Structure 1
Amino acid sequence: MSAAIAATAAVWGRTQQQDFRSRVRGCLLGAAVGDALGAGVDTLSTEAVREAHGPAGLTDLTPAYGRRGAVTAATQLSLFTVDGLIRAQVRRDTGAWHPPTDVHRAHLRWAATQRDWGPDERRKDNGWLANEEWLYVRRDPPRATLTGLADEVLGTLDRPKNPAARDAGALVRSAPYGLLVGWEPQLVCQLAVECAAQTHGHPAAYLSAGAFAVIVHGLARGETVEASARRAQAQLTQRPGHEPVAEALGNALDSVRRGAPGPDALAALGDTDGEHAEDALAIAVYCALVAEDTAQGLRLAVNHDGPSAATGTLTGALLGALHGETALPPSWIAELEGRPSILALADDFAMEMTQGPALHGPESAAPGWLARYPRG
């Protein structure tokens, strides 16, 4: 896996690197903006949203957790997923190459933010992200995520954590796997599936995460939403329990030709109560397919019976990876909680994936980089 990434980075020119960085920024910022947009109306019915915000529904950021632009656990976990992927790349110099373990360790660092009052300066292996004080708040993390990360036992596909958990808790943190553009789609899918099983053991939950990562992967490589979704369907065919996820993707693709976009179209894609990850995936893919622009796609993604934060997160990640950061609404980005941290992490990820050998290797490494992303 690492050789594939190194080979890809070696042939990238400056323009390609800049395009990749824009898509990484777009994906992470877009997911966070969609999360923040949906957080203010999460779990509300369409009728309740219209009563609160008018006939057009929610059209702008609205306060959640005491402020506009606040993000939920979905964004927190996505950031720690990126941190884990960077750490995996850094640790490969030691011969310890097992990305699911590094992502799991990163998610355990997130779990500490849900228990502790603030960063533990005694933990020298925390790196910079776990020392960001703004992350030490609880923003409605799914129960399965908390219980799955309540101990240090690594859930696997053979022994997944929470085998009945089917919600979108693992799905909403899975966009970063798709940004591994030097990997082949089947490896991206496998990594996302293995990491999702660490908290969400129902096949529909972890296969939705795998499919979503493959779609983001295609978009980050410059493909269309439809082509990327069909590739994701193909990746699922040999995996047990894939039928609900493949059907949900098929419904999203077919629904584009069934009438005007709106809450009724989203409701037709499946349950909007947040219990099934594959339904949230279908809504996001549909919204990305029919979006006239990023803002319109995000508004569509959050104006339904819920879970608006999850579908906003997923849609934002897709549209951001598709169009890059400059397509995101600047007024929403300006109010986004944690924006400096998100941008810093996005740029670090892009630099690691394109210039990693210049930052660290078996013989030498940049001390500042290892302070940010320790090998321990």
Structure 2
Amino acid sequence: MGATAGAVWGRGEQQDFRSRVRGTLLGVAAGDALGAPVDGLSLEAIREAHGAEGLVGPVPAYGRRGTVTHLTQLSLFGVDGLIRAQVRRDTGAWHPPSDVHRAYRRWSATQSDWGPDERRKDDGWLAREEWLYARRDPARACLLGLADGIMGTLDAPKNPGEPGPEAAARSAPFGLLVGWEPQLAMQLAVECAAQTHGHPSAYLTAGAYAVAVHALARGENPDAAVQQTLALLSVRPGHQPVAAALQHALGAVRQGAPSPARVEELARSGAAEGPLAAAVYCVLVGEDVRHALCLSVNHGGPSAVTGALTGGLLGALHGETALPPAWLAELEGRPTVLVLADDFAMEMTQGPALHGPAGSSPGWLARYPRA
């Protein structure tokens, strides 16, 4: 697996990229937190609890407003793994799926440990963030897939019968590898999804989502992002359900005013591909970011997943400043998300100045150990 290397970034390009990275990760978290309180509820139950318009802003889940689920937690550890992969590249060890798998395993420890283990010096700074040591209804496939040190691969995937959408909902970070060709970002997302979700619908949906985020983060419009995704999917064995779901989303855009019923019909059709289709639909028909996010969670399907997928796409498209500031102000772990996003942007645009033959920053290597 390779990537485009040696690109020179201008200051304006760096600032734009950082905004899109921040927007993507904050968008995933904001959509996740918005959908978490109503996840699994019927539309009727949502309206009964929150009024005729349904959910129009954050409400409490897990004890307070703005709390995120395991979808955001895993997304953040995925970013950590990608940074570590770049740092380790100096040593000649270049296998990003393994670095991401180790990062996911560090997340797995947060689901059973009481708090950070200071004896594990090689865990890096993210694993020492105490707020991440919270069990937020993690998908069984994630727990089982990461329960041992054996990494699932496409040849021997973990949970081969699991078609759920959770792997896709943690795959936005792969799309932020904008220096990579999109097919390589897709391949990495697919391989890392197979570590917990081995069904083709699950890992190909993760790859499709990464391509869509990648296109948006590089400045494409949503329609072009979907077309690029469909083109790259077409050469993948087993792609038909995912491609059909995306085509269904495009067709739904032309079927009148947006409605929760249409979002629910998309989100609950098929397996992992359904929530992705619903997220794409919400991005295409939303009047603005707030409307698109609310549309994505007011239905009887998997609201947290659909919200996270929609938020990641919107953040990659518009950058951080388009997200509702009042929602971000209450978002759990926002300082951590921002620091991690900025570290990722700095590593991807200025990595050689942080570590390499000319010298390394001890502080950076303490944050992202090579071990």
Give the TM-score category using the shorter length.
Answer: over 0.9
CA distance in 2, matches of 1:3, 1:154: 22
Matches within 5 A, 1:59-138: 59-138=56-135
The 3-state SS of whatever aligns with 1:125 is helix
CA distance in 2, matches of 1:267, 1:35: 17
Name the CA shift for 1:240/1:2 in 2 (closer, same or farther; >3 Å). Answer: closer
Name the CA shift for 1:3/1:203 in 2 (closer, same or farther; >3 Å). Answer: closer
Partners of 2:264 and 2:301 within 8 A in 1: no
Q: 1:221 aligns with which of 218, 222, 225?
A: 218
Q: 1:297 aligns with which of 292, 301, 304?
A: 292
Cα deviations by residue, 1:34-72 (Å, 9 ceiling, x for unpaired): 000001111100000000000000001110000000000
Using structure 1 for the length normalisation, give the TM-score: 0.97
The 3-state SS of whatever aligns with 1:319 is helix
Partners of 1:216 and 1:317 within 8 A in 2: yes
CA distance in 1, matches of 2:267, 2:278: 8
Alignment-mate amino acid for residue 71 of structure 1: V
Alignment-mate amino acid for residue 239 of structure 2: H
Using structure 2 for the length normalisation, give the TM-score: 0.98
Let me know the Cα RMSD of the aligned residues. Answer: 1.1
CA distance in 2, matches of 1:22, 1:231: 23
Q: 1:310 aligns with which of 287, 302, 305?
A: 305
Give the Å deviation of 1:268.
3.0
Q: 2:369 aligns with which of 339, 349, 374?
A: 374
The 3-state SS of whatever aligns with 1:309 is helix
Matches within 5 A, 1:138-157: 138-157=135-154
Alignment-mate amino acid for residue 193 of structure 1: V
The 3-state SS of whatever aligns with 1:268 is helix
Matching residue of 1:258: 255
Give the Å deviation of 1:2.
6.0
Q: Is residue 2:44 matched to residue 1:47?
A: yes
Q: 2:345 aligns with which of 339, 350, 360?
A: 350
CA distance in 1, matches of 2:155, 2:304: 30
Matching residue of 2:322: 327
CA distance in 1, matches of 2:187, 2:205: 12
CA distance in 2, matches of 1:252, 1:7: 38
CA distance in 2, matches of 1:290, 1:177: 25
Partners of 2:3 and 2:179 within 8 A in 1: no
Give the Å deviation of 1:267.
2.8
Aligned residues: 371
CA distance in 1, matches of 2:267, 2:347: 39
Partners of 1:90 and 1:375 within 8 A in 2: yes
Give the Å deviation of 1:292.
1.2
Partners of 1:2 and 1:89 within 8 A in 2: no
CA distance in 1, matches of 2:292, 2:233: 26
Give the Å deviation of 1:363.
5.0
Give the Å deviation of 1:265.
1.2
The 3-state SS of whatever aligns with 2:59 is coil
The 3-state SS of whatever aligns with 2:254 is coil
Identity score, percent: 70
Alignment-mate amino acid for residue 341 of structure 2: A
Q: 1:337 aligns with which of 297, 317, 332?
A: 332
CA distance in 2, matches of 1:163, 1:195: 13
Answer with 118-127 or 259-268: which moved more: 259-268
Alignment-mate amino acid for residue 276 of structure 1: A
The 3-state SS of whatever aligns with 1:97 is coil
Alignment-mate amino acid for residue 162 of structure 1: N
Matches within 5 A, 1:235-246: 235-246=232-243
CA distance in 2, matches of 1:236, 1:160: 19
Name the CA shift for 1:363/1:331 in 2 (closer, same or farther; >3 Å). Answer: same
CA distance in 2, matches of 1:269, 1:34: 17
The 3-state SS of whatever aligns with 1:16 is helix
Give the Å deviation of 1:306.
2.1
Q: Is residue 2:277 matched to residue 1:278?
A: no
Matching residue of 2:176: 179
Matches within 5 A, 1:158-177: 158-177=155-174
CA distance in 1, matches of 2:206, 2:264: 21
Give the Å deviation of 1:270.
5.1
CA distance in 2, matches of 1:99, 1:26: 23
The 3-state SS of whatever aligns with 1:70 is coil
The 3-state SS of whatever aligns with 2:122 is coil
CA distance in 2, matches of 1:109, 1:144: 16
Q: Is residue 2:244 matched to residue 1:247?
A: yes
Partners of 1:26 and 1:326 within 8 A in 2: yes
